[in-house]
Chain A
Amino acid sequence: MLGSGILKGLAVTAKNFAGSYYDPKRMVTVEYPEKATPVPENYRSFPFLVTENAEDPMGSLRCVACQICEKECPPQCIIIEKSKDKKPDAAGKMQLYPAVFNIDTSVCMSCQICVEVCPFDSIKMDQVFEVAATDRFTDLLLTREKLAKPNSYYHKIHPTEADEVDTRLTAERQAAADKAKTAAAAKAAAAAAKPVSPTQPAPAPVAVAPKATPPAA
């Protein structure tokens, strides 16, 4: 009969109306400033710099100021100046560090190319999206102090990716340490072999030894 569809429709909306008061699952609205939907793990906004030590962020930046990201950045929003001196990195090796590392987030297009080219896993994508500012020159140009965030933060926002990076880095550092250890062992063995050599009647290796030592060191 004419009108039965209208009555059915009215019943549906009446159910919606009543249900919206006692069934929170029906409501799709998340009242944003008070509550926020969690962002997906792979969500990205702007880059940040990973530091090893949260206590001393400027002293433990993974970045070695190689400037690859600066050269690759399509909109050229990264500005890096190398340091004059060197500092030991996490593995204890002496490295340069960025004296200036600025990212202009008003220019950045969040393409992630800097992250992909970084050979040191030192630049990663952040997830902050509340970036409104009153002055673009002071608030949107992020200096290295604002960019530096600890590795634990990286673990918090991208857990899977960070675990993978950490296993790789520890493996690499382990390999480097093992290599250094074997090299040291070889050196020690060589050094141990030296005092023994005078007792043996072999003059030829003594003459070669000074030439062979520099590469071993």
Chain B
Amino acid sequence: MSAALGTEPFLERAPLELRDWFVQLLTRWFHLPELLQWVLHNLISIVAILAVFGLFFAFTTIAERKLLGRLQNRLGPNRTGLPKFSRLLGGWHFKHKLFGLTQPFADAIKALTKEDIVPAGADKLLHFLAPVIVVAFSLMTFAVLPFGRHYIPVEMDAALLYFFAAGSATELAIFMAGWSSRNKYSLLSAMRALAQLISYELPLILSVVPVVLITGTLSTQQIVIAQGGLTLGFLPHWFVFTPWGFAGFIIFLVSALAESNRSPFDLPEAESELVAGHLTEYSGFKYALFFMAEYFGLTALSGLGITIFLGGWQAPYGFLEFIPSYLWFMGKLVLMIMFFIWIRGTLLRLRIDQLTRLSWKFLVPLALINLVNAAFWSLTADCSAPLQIARWAASIIVIVVPFFFMGRKLSAGFAPRTYRYAP
């Protein structure tokens, strides 16, 4: 890796150089053996990911609250500032409000100092393990995301497979939470959550398969590299700018929303309707851990969506490459998260039957058709320039026509809604 690094601009390699310098420094001081060097090397990567995405999570919560407020013509939290000692007014007081940006730290202190209630009849071990496991597995998915040109914690040939395996394991933790609470409502809603997660696992993976088909690899880094350059001279060669890629991206977005339990698919723990679903018997920091895992899951899925459809760390055009690749990735990630918040501020929650119908009767067939579309796309890759237009048109028709007819069938009898008495 370091051989390739030498030619990179300084900003691109600065964090890696820092890490290598630190490892070398410690090696020189303590004469570390090869194995410990390797451990230290990877520990630094892990700590960096935890720190960056821990902070990212913290500021996602405040960004979510502020953005939701703005979407609803409110201000959102803007009070929490830095405590400052002033002799003039006496004692501690919050003089610097900082737009409420320190709210997540106040929330963390609140969650940490709250009483941790474990029901008397609960399975103590599972009740404790569930939040730990859910956070652990949602963090494990970060291991295979390429955050930049040289920033991938673990380079793996079957990275996509690993991502979905680790991501699906959080479902186990959700059922653990419902089961160990010894509360029938927790159990019921955990089963509902499982039904939702398993329903949407299928379209999520099916929406990713076309990309694997086109690139011929499961490695996330290779998929990003395949998205370099321009198509037709002006479009970045990102998969979202192809007919099958766009359809896949939409299916991926919807399934990612459902997989991360977010509005409009947040019915496992619909705040305004249920008592927090499988989190009913959790309080204090364990509850916060579930929350954290949910945001980590959302961030990881957004990262995967960026990697697969939005060109990963690639800059859209060559002249923009002076911005380091990891900043491109983080920028796209922020935009994705903001889009998810925008969706949350707009759409209403679905009913459980609508939720499963959308998955099984619409997204799964559409994803299968999209797979055929991608196969057509990869078979016609070498056709001549005039035929390219026909290729694009055919690919668009193959996905739009089924979308139109299946959409009509899906909403037949449900939409548009007519009101008998109101205009």
* Cβ < 8 Å to B, chain A residues 1-28: 1-3, 5-6, 9-10, 12-14, 16-17, 19-21, 26-28
CA distance A31 to B346 in the complex (A): 25
CA distance A13 to B75 in the complex (A): 14
* A2 → chain B closest CB, angstroms: 3
10 residue pairs A–B, Cβ–Cβ below 8 Å: A2-B403, A5-B415, A9-B347, A10-B342, A19-B73, A20-B70, A20-B74, A27-B74, A29-B74, A31-B75
CA distance A21 to B74 in the complex (A): 10
Knowing A6-B347, A9-B346, A10-B342, the reply to whether A16 touches B403 (Cβ < 8 A) is no
Our pick among B74, B342, B411, B415 for the contact of A13 (Cβ within 8 Å) is B342
Chain A residues with CB below 8 A from B284, complex form: none
B410 A13 Cβ-Cβ under 8 A: no
Counting chain B residues whose Cβ lies within 8 A of the other chain, the interface size class is 20 to 34
Knowing A9-B347, A27-B75, A29-B75, the reply to whether A16 touches B70 (Cβ < 8 A) is yes
* B361 → chain A closest CB, angstroms: 12
> B392-423 toward A: CB 8 Å interface, digit per residue (1/0)?
00000000000110111011000100000000
Our pick among B73, B404, B410 for the contact of A27 (Cβ within 8 Å) is B73
Our pick among B71, B343, B411 for the contact of A17 (Cβ within 8 Å) is B71
Is B67 interfacial (CB 8 A cutoff)?
Answer: yes
CB-CB nearest 8 A-B residue pairs: A2-B407, A13-B71, A13-B346, A9-B346, A26-B73, A20-B70, A29-B75, A17-B70
A16 B408 Cβ-Cβ under 8 A: no
Is B345 interfacial (CB 8 A cutoff)?
Answer: yes
* A28 → chain B closest CB, angstroms: 6
CA distance A9 to B347 in the complex (A): 7
CA distance A5 to B72 in the complex (A): 18
Chain B residues with CB below 8 A from A10, complex form: 342-343, 346
CA distance A10 to B403 in the complex (A): 20
Chain B residues with CB below 8 A from A17, complex form: 67, 70-71, 342
Chain B residues with CB below 8 A from A2, complex form: 403-404, 406-408, 410-411
Closest B residue, CB atoms, query A3: B407
Our pick among A1, A9, A28 for the contact of B73 (Cβ within 8 Å) is A28
Chain B residues with CB below 8 A from A26, complex form: 73
> B65-99 toward A: CB 8 Å interface, digit per residue (1/0)?
00100111111000000000000000000000000
CA distance A10 to B343 in the complex (A): 7
Our pick among B72, B407, B411 for the contact of A16 (Cβ within 8 Å) is B72
B73 A16 Cβ-Cβ under 8 A: yes
> A17-46 toward B: CB 8 Å interface, digit per residue (1/0)?
101110000111101000000000000000
Give the interface SS of chain A, mostly helix, strand, loop or mixed: helix
Counting chain A residues whose Cβ lies within 8 A of the other chain, the interface size class is 20 to 34
Chain A residues with CB below 8 A from B343, complex form: 10
Our pick among A1, A6, A16, A29 for the contact of B71 (Cβ within 8 Å) is A16
Chain A residues with CB below 8 A from B403, complex form: 2
Knowing A1-B404, A2-B403, A2-B408, the reply to whether A20 touches B342 (Cβ < 8 A) is no
Chain A residues with CB below 8 A from B410, complex form: 2
Closest A residue, CB atoms, query B403: A2
CA distance A3 to B346 in the complex (A): 13
Closest B residue, CB atoms, query A20: B70
CA distance A13 to B343 in the complex (A): 9
> B291-304 toward A: CB 8 Å interface, digit per residue (1/0)?
00000000000000
Q: Knowing that A13-B342, A26-B73, A29-B75 are A-B contacts, what are 11 other residue pairs whose CB atoms are under 8 Å apart, sorted by A's residue number?
A: A2-B406, A2-B408, A3-B407, A5-B415, A6-B346, A10-B343, A17-B71, A20-B73, A20-B74, A28-B73, A28-B74
Closest B residue, CB atoms, query A2: B407
CA distance A31 to B77 in the complex (A): 11
B407 A12 Cβ-Cβ under 8 A: no
CA distance A13 to B74 in the complex (A): 12
* A21 → chain B closest CB, angstroms: 8
CA distance A12 to B71 in the complex (A): 9
Chain B residues with CB below 8 A from A3, complex form: 407
CA distance A19 to B403 in the complex (A): 34
B73 A14 Cβ-Cβ under 8 A: no
Closest B residue, CB atoms, query A11: B346
* B263 → chain A closest CB, angstroms: 12
* Cβ < 8 Å to A, chain B residues 214-236: none
CA distance A19 to B70 in the complex (A): 9
Looking at A2, A17, A19, the one whose CB has the most chain B CB atoms below 10 A away is A2
Looking at A10, A19, A31, the one whose CB has the most chain B CB atoms below 10 A away is A10
Chain B residues with CB below 8 A from A29, complex form: 74-75
CA distance A14 to B405 in the complex (A): 29
* B236 → chain A closest CB, angstroms: 24
Chain A residues with CB below 8 A from B73, complex form: 16, 19-20, 26-28
Chain B residues with CB below 8 A from A27, complex form: 73-75
Chain B residues with CB below 8 A from A5, complex form: 415
> B45-67 toward A: CB 8 Å interface, digit per residue (1/0)?
00000000000000000000001
> B325-351 toward A: CB 8 Å interface, digit per residue (1/0)?
000000000000000001101110000
